[in-house]
Structure 1
């Protein structure tokens, strides 16, 4: 069959480097990324802008390109460690996507010392036969200095971490407390016992709640008040603080440190709903019937007085025992907390009727000591107090979305689309491979997912099944086009409840105020979307479903300037939310790697959290740390990877490793720079293989966890530095074995669970 000729058309885009030496060009037109082989990456660096020609298809069918022109060099600084090799000074980038060390002339070293972490500014770009040259712009300190991982991450991901002088000056000029003039045209709620309920380590308080019984229609119900900090009163569109807040788009949470969206005077002071002080707020005042349905609502600006700063642990204890010590300490508030619990149960019933997806997953919290080192990693436990606040916030967010829709005013919705056809197909194959009597339709509803989760909740492989259900979901984004929220089963949903730490919430507040005042809110002039926004726009374009055969073509309306501005704002906020999550995960992965360096050679029990063609990712039971058991560490066996079942199966023994399979591993290698932890399988794994062989000879199936036979497989060539197989593999599949016992398993990957905040959805 003749290959189709490749049209040598030039495309422009941004280089995205890979730690293995090759790279990709993310095209501006949203078409598939163009692969750049290592030789094409010698004259460019990660984040450079280039023009490329597609010259061929590589072995995996990807378009492969040749750089024809370097349009622009990235101005982002490079962070790395200063090293001396053979009398030459160089900086090894911390971000391995850069692929090349930076040469540092002797006169460009400043005060930096060998081994220190520094920020480098390029003075000469790389060439085909020459490394990049730079000068040291800033010395961050020693690699083991407390908080160094955060200093690296904020620069590595381009997180703004210093407020402009103009923003700080504006913050200093703000009052220390609510003034009489600020209270004009506001409802006085200071006598209403509103309270905040947050975690023990919370410092900014966005939301306060109050509930009382009420007659709704002809039946009983509740009146629920959700009061949210009125940030928009102090932060006006286009001012210095607003410009800085928009650039950040979100607060970034690290262990022991927060990079706030707003200056501290606002985030922890004037806007925070601190106890026993007056604060300005925007209120969503709702009437909810006995079935948990929102019967009516209204929005209004108010002034409030928090009657208590409560914690989740404290409220849960009060709800469990209204005569206990905690209840005695908060005696006046106990009746109102019981009302909140009652309305929560009603809202929970409504949630079940909607069919909203609700998977219980394990989230972790890193507990650090005074110098920033991990003391322990513990699971975050969710109690009724967490769920109570979550349901109250969801109700307020739904009312906000509906209010904006009815007001026919543009705004940002929180959009969560259903799974793509590809993900639906993968999920169907997986459920079929497990012989489960469940499937999903072509246009699945959240209820279908929730029914599968509920029906399989008691199975030993429930974790495995629920993880696959989660993986089939899309990521939520901000968009002016309301497409509903699939996971929560809402037709319209937005974010209203956290304007201290999320810019979309601040925009929603401004829009609601303008609708109340019968005015129009106009966004300021926004900058051109950057690399992250363009990547996100491309991913969103890929989600669009092609028209079915026979469908009439629909002529898309050309968006006007106003809608384009809101789309740009949505892309910006969504991309910076991803940036914050990536920076947080990077820091947590670094801390976990550093923590596990102290446990090299030790053995732990764990469970398989992912199966791939090159090995198993295992999460330790006691430490909640994930590492890789490389395929060569699974014993002398030939393994096939079954994508449908998400498992590895041994050809000789029939041994299977799938999600949730219990194993025992030894920590064999930790790569701090690469954020990677490698395990090797020990004892139990070897015993299981021996038992599998005995069972197979006896004619019975051998299973490590749930699973079945496989057919599809892929062959993997060993990388440089990895041992190859001790025997030739068959026509397809992977051979495990051939490496001396106790040696590192090659390159793995560290992983960590991101920190959860209420209202994240």
Structure 2
């Protein structure tokens, strides 16, 4: 237990009463020479919100003083909710008058006030701001003669930011800018700031994408020392000793299967049918740790990023291209260092034996998902001839993947079949089409092989009782599952009445809706109802996969957790882990899990926001065009409609002019007071594009055939996308 933990443990004792600094010196019997160490520890605990320093100059635990530390989740109307650090404490409502200059995202100390039965949510008042979240704010500049305002992109920031006339720095009205806040808000005035960067004109799509990346503080450029290290390690070549000590797999027909545009090839596969009852599956992963050493510049930068970010017109990699696309990537015809897992799998899909070892290989064929699918699905003659050397193996791969898939289905793993959105861009980056991205047979082969490998590795190191980074997925929240049950009930489906839902029950629902018009809709609703998978130093069941043990081992070029467990595995394989290493790794895996989970969430948000911007760009020249769609959501302010190509837009209630519509929250329906017309999820509708805002990434539809007389020939004009 370190010094900070000792202090915190002592203060949490029931008998503890707030003490001054000098009283704590006496209690801990600390000599004068150690005063600075105690003060440093107390200051760090105070900054974290773990303890509080009172006006009477005493230290104590917030909860013991009826105070709660947490993060503010703001609202554009000025109020906020405190999301407490202690997850056992309910969220606390903070009215605008009780914000005391705090803003969305700030870490604060709150004093709870009203907790009576009449109050739906406990209320509180901000008494201290621990950490500001918005030193820089992205927004749109509006200029007046002697001053200006920046309207934040983040609607949860309730204030426009006042800009004095001498702080414009050349910005013009309707330019997207980055503002540094120089004075924080109070009850009488807005925050004040100065413009530090002009991002671009709001009419330019690239401006909004850059704003998203800036707002999330994405590290787009690698520091110079990182680039230098990447160039140096990538030019070293493979030392002779590596050929001697690793298992040589260069004679095997090992292949990669990836997308056409992929450049970071980190997984290769090989399958051999041993007999009628057994297969040997080899999964071979780039040995990135050979080049990225813990604690060096490359490694520190990789952990800060923790993941590569894939957006429609570029990749923001975790590692410099010298590694991600070069020395680490399993490019065809080149000797590459790898970490391998070879599994013997029987016809029931059970792994009966396996080996984990360091290896060296040569990728024989750089296959694409499209080519492999065309061979296996359509018996493409030209491709079959081109790849005749590995054609039997490709068929064995398909056989084995079906066996593994069947095994997962039997245990109840949830397999979402909804199509992903694929955005096509031209050479300038402009969105030219939005289509569905299909998971074909080749995608499913690789998916099954990676799942089997990840489970095998996770279980092996769990039973070795080693520090590790696991991928876990907690059971669903009961309230969200109840809400999901209501939604699907309105579509004619049901879950069993039990509070605890087994993944098998959700899997069976997905099988029932397969091929039906509501399939994509229910898939998406179910996904939103489940918790998000995270990384953890502790093993726990993965609900969605119905797996007892799971980790991410197969993508160390683009995910830091994979890189970290590769280090642990190599240390164990080579007998290089001491007792001190175990203790250090226990702390390290906790840090990696937390940072990787955090950065994964940010990457997901960025990818989602950029997709919305690019989809709006694609739809921007389609105002007035008509489409068929399905209702994907119903709210008090309107109806969301999804088109066949996955584009989603809103029919705002203000544009539903044929009647006065009332929202039924329980049934998630809008119904007309006079016409009794009902709009519910899953219903087929016809819409026209009314308006598109690239700046807001919003698409507005209006219903056509239900509200106005539409001639038969107009109905024929409906665009099937």
Report the TM-score range of the alignment, normalised by the length of the smaller protein: 0.7 to 0.9
Q: Using the TM superposition, give the Cα deviation of residue 357 of structure 1 relative to its aligned residue in structure 2, in angstroms.
A: 1.4
* Aligned positions of 1:119-518 closer than 5 A: 119-145=178-204, 147-176=206-235, 177-215=237-275, 220-322=277-379, 324-430=381-487, 436=493, 439=496, 441-457=498-514, 461-518=518-575
**Deviations 1:675-699 (CA, angstroms, capped at 9, x unpaired):** 33222222235579xxxxxxxxxxx
CA contact (8 A) 1:322 1:334 kept: no
Following the alignment from structure 2 to structure 1, what is the Cα–Cα distance between the partners of residues 487 and 164?
A: 56
Map of 2:668 onto structure 1: 646
After superposing the two structures, state which structure 1 stretch, 503-512 or 348-357, moved more. Answer: 348-357
Q: Contact 2:234 / 2:322 at 8 angstroms: preserved in 1?
A: no
Q: Distance in 2 between matches of 1:522 and 1:683?
A: 72
CA contact (8 A) 2:627 2:686 kept: yes
Of the three residues 653, 658, 682, the one matched with 2:704 is 682
Superposed CA deviations along residues 306-353 of structure 1, whole A, max 9, x for unmatched, are 111111110111123556111222222222212212211221222222
Q: Distance in 2 between matches of 1:329 and 1:669?
A: 49
Instruction: Say which structure is richer in helix.
Output: 2
Q: State the alpha-carbon separation in 2 of the partners of residues 474 and 609 from structure 1.
A: 20
CA distance in 2, matches of 1:620, 1:137: 41
Query: Does the 8 Å contact 1:187/1:303 carry over to 2?
Result: yes
- The 1:589/1:458 distance shift into structure 2, 3 A limit, reads closer
User: In the superposition, relative to structure 1, how do residues 461 and 589 fare at CA in structure 2: closer, same or farther (>3 Å)?
Assistant: closer
- Output one character per residue of 1:358-415: Cα deviation in whole Å (capped at 9) or x when no partner: 2310211111122222101011011100101100111110111111112110211111
Is the contact between residue 49 and residue 73 of structure 1 (CA under 8 Å) also seen in structure 2?
yes
Match of 2:102 among 34, 38, 44: 44
| Aligned equivalent of 2:680 | 658
Q: Which residue in 2 is equivalent to 1:667? A: 689
How far does the alpha carbon of each residue in 1:32-90 deviate from its partner, in whole angstroms, 9 at most, with x for none?
33323334458333333333323336987123333333344346422223331244233
Structure-2 residue corresponding to 1:116: 175
Whether 1:583 and 2:642 are equivalent positions in the alignment is no
Equivalent-residue separation in structure 2 for 1:586 and 1:657 (angstroms): 27
Aligned to 1:615: 638
Distance 2:295 2:665 in 1: 50
Cα–Cα, structure 1 residues 74 and 466, in superposed 2: closer, same or farther, change >3 Å? closer
SS at match of 2:245: coil
Shift of 1:572: 2.0
1:84 and 2:107 equivalent? no
1:436 to 1:93, Cα distance in 2 relative to 1, 3 A: closer
In the superposition, relative to structure 1, how do residues 665 and 42 fare at CA in structure 2: closer, same or farther (>3 Å)?
farther
C-alpha distance in 2 between matches for 1:452 and 1:679: 31
CA contact (8 A) 2:292 2:298 kept: yes
Q: Distance in 2 between matches of 1:71 and 1:465?
A: 42
Contact 1:431–1:439, Cα closer than 8 Å, also in 2: no
Name the residue aligned to 2:37: none
3-state SS of 1:90 partner = strand
Deviates more, 1:441-450 or 1:106-115: 106-115
Contact 1:401 1:493 in 2 (8 A): yes
Name the structure 2 match of 1:600: 623
Q: Contact (CA 8 Å) 2:143, 2:172: kept in 1 or not?
A: no
CA distance in 2, matches of 1:64, 1:402: 46
Contact 2:264 2:324 in 1 (8 A): yes
Describe the shift of the 1:110–1:436 C-alpha distance in structure 2 as closer, same or farther (beyond 3 A).
closer
Contact 1:627 1:679 survives alignment (8 Å): yes
Distance, in Å, in 2 between the alignment partners of 1:41 and 1:686 is: 48
> Could you report, residue by residue, the CA deviation over 1:607-626 in whole angstroms, capped at 9, with x for unpaired residues?
1111223321111234x221
Segment drifting more, 628-637 vs 369-378: 628-637
TM-score after normalising by structure 1: 0.79
Gaps of 5+ in 2: 1-63, 711-721
CA-atom RMSD, angstroms?
A: 2.9
Inter-partner Cα distance in structure 2 for 1:583 and 1:285 = 36
Matched-pair contact (CA < 8 Å) for 1:419–1:474? yes
Structure 1 Cα separation of the partners of residues 656 and 204 of structure 2: 37
Measured in 2, the distance between the counterparts of 1:323 and 1:589 equals 36
3-state secondary structure, aligned to 1:98: coil
User: Match for residue 54 of structure 2?
Assistant: none
71 and 408 in structure 1: CA distance in 2 versus 1, 3 angstrom threshold: closer
Task: Indicate conservation of the 8 Å contact 1:403/1:512, yes or no.
Answer: no
- SS of alignment partner, residue 234 of structure 2: coil
Check the 8 A contact 1:14/1:49 in 2, yes or no.
Answer: yes
Unaligned runs of 5+ in 1: 1-6, 526-559, 689-761
Moved more, 126-135 or 370-379: 126-135
Residues 48 and 434 of structure 1: is their aligned pair in 2 closer, same or farther, counting only changes over 3 Å?
A: closer
Cα distance between partner residues in 2 of 1:44 and 1:231: 43
Alignment of 1:68-79 (within 5 A): 68-74=127-133, 76-79=135-138
Q: 1:485 to 1:104 in 2, by over 3 A?
A: same
Q: Which moved more, 1:135-144 or 1:278-287?
A: 135-144
Q: Whole-Å Cα distance in 2 between the matches of residues 657 and 206 of structure 1?
A: 47
TM-superposed CA distance for 1:263, in Å, is 1.2
Distance in 1 (alpha carbons) for counterparts of 2:649 and 2:322:
41
Report the CA distance between 1:448 and its aligned residue: 1.8
Once the two structures are overlaid, the 10-residue window that deviates more, 342-351 or 423-432, is: 423-432
**Counterpart of 1:147 in 2: which secondary structure?**
helix
Determine if contact 1:229/1:272 at 8 Å carries over to the other structure: yes
Residue 449 of structure 1: how far off its partner (Å): 1.7
Query: Could you say what secondary structure the match of 2:113 adopts?
Result: strand
For residues 323 and 124 of structure 1, the distance between their equivalents in structure 2, rounded to whole angstroms, comes to 66
Q: Distance in 2 between matches of 1:672 and 1:41?
A: 32
Deviates more, 1:305-314 or 1:100-109: 100-109
Paired with 2:578 and 2:560, the residues of 1 have a C-alpha distance of: 15
Task: Map Cα deviations across residues 255-314 of structure 1 (whole Å, 9 max, x no partner).
Answer: 111111111111111111111111111111111112222111111111111111111110
